[in-house]
Amino acid sequence: MIKTEDLFVRFSDGSGIRYRDMCFDTGRSYALLGASGVGKSTFLNLISGVLTPAEGRVTVDGEAVSALPQKARDLYRIRRVGYIFQDFKLLEDMTVQDNLNLLRLEGVDTAQMDALLDRLGILRLKKRRVNRLSGGEKQRVAIARALIKKPAIILADEPTGNLNYETGVEVVKTLLLNAGEGTLIAVTHDDRLAPMFDERMDMNAVAEWIPGGEARQHA
Ligand SMILES: Nc1ncnc2c1ncn2[C@@H]1O[C@H](COP(=O)(O)OP(=O)(O)OP(=O)(O)O)[C@@H](O)[C@H]1O
Ligand SMILES: [Mg+2]
């Protein structure tokens, strides 16, 4: 179970976002909806430990991961979280298979990797360099890279943003299948895909923008 409590993140300009307490059960899938700029990506960054909250905490199965030292937090993310970033963060000069191999667990063999790529419709691109791929192809490489390490927690930031509806449905099905007994939290703007998740959460009602001191002075 993932819990957020009294979560507040502050940006360098003094502004920040406060989040209502949230709870995500193990074995369930969640669609996060909400306006652009409301704080969805920031929320995933807090859960994954990419960002450190100024106040409050993120706990995973009772452990306050947001309070761990940087190294332990990085290990938590590497071992347990499959994070599909909104901007992919792939290694552009490397091939698809090399991007995946960097995160592949020892127990995951090439046949399993190929099956995952095939399911996502990108097996034929395996030996291509990422910087030669289209946006939708890169998006699916980012998904494969997140899933190859069989993470207990999958965080997906608009995983279907660059895909047509039919491919988007396949991708969401693949995410749900791979989430299995774990937890899947996906940001989506697509009202047609949101019903595929167990629960839908409106982040407009969860995140509150707090202006910084500097912003107030200039206002
Ligand atoms: N490092 C930063 N410094 C200042 N403001 C920031 C920073 N990072 C994010 N913000 C602001 O926080 C708000 C939330 O950003 P975030 O990226 O979480 O939005 P989002 O809900 O993911 O939007 P979108 O749907 O467009 O991806 C935005 O107003 C953004 O400008
Ligand atoms: Mg975002």
The mean per-residue pLDDT over the stretch 10-34 comes to 97
What CA–CA distance (Å, rounded) separates 133 from 71? 33
Residue 97 has pLDDT above 60, yes or no: yes
How many other C-beta atoms are found inside a 10 Å radius of the C-beta of residue 205?
11
What CA–CA distance (Å, rounded) separates 44 from 22? 12
Structure tokens at 203: 């982040």
Confidence tier at 183 by pLDDT (50, 70, 90): very high
Q: Which domain holds residue 135?
A: 2-218
Consecutive H or E run containing 31: strand 29-33
Return the axis-axis angle of helices 110-119 and 165-179, rounded to nearest 10°. Answer: 140
pTM: 0.94
Question: Parallel, antiparallel, or unpaired for β 29-33 and 207-210?
Answer: unpaired
The mean per-residue pLDDT over the stretch 183-201 comes to 96
**208 alpha carbon, closest ligand:** 1
Residue 41 has pLDDT above 90, yes or no: yes
How many other C-beta atoms are found inside a 10 Å radius of the C-beta of residue 105?
12
Consecutive H or E run containing 22: strand 22-24
User: How far away, in angstroms, is 20 Cα from ligand 1 center?
Assistant: 17
User: How far away, in angstroms, is 106 Cα from ligand 1 center?
Assistant: 36
Q: Kindly list the protein residues whose Cβ atom lies closer than 6 A to any atom of ligand 1.
A: 11-13, 15, 17, 34, 36-42, 86
User: How far away, in angstroms, is 201 Cα from ligand 2 center?
Assistant: 15
Most informative mutation of 38, 47, 209 for ligand 1 (most atoms within 8 A of CB): 38
**40 alpha carbon, closest ligand:** 1
113 neighbors 104 (Cβ within 8 angstroms): yes
Confidence tier at 216 by pLDDT (50, 70, 90): very low
SS (H, E, C) 159-174: CCCCCCHHHHHHHHHH
Residue 219 has pLDDT above 60, yes or no: no
Which residue's CA is minimally distant from atom 18 of ligand 1? 39
Q: What is the CA radius of gyration of the chain?
A: 18
**Domain total of the chain:** 1
Between 60-64, 108-112, 134-138, the lowest mean confidence (pLDDT) is in 108-112
Q: What is the CATH number of the domain that holds 122?
A: 3.40.50.300
Q: What is the pLDDT of residue 102?
A: 85
The mean per-residue pLDDT over the stretch 173-194 comes to 95
Which residue's CA is minimally distant from atom 10 of ligand 1? 11
136 neighbors 162 (Cβ within 8 angstroms): yes
The mean per-residue pLDDT over the stretch 110-137 comes to 96
Q: What is the pLDDT of residue 213?
A: 66
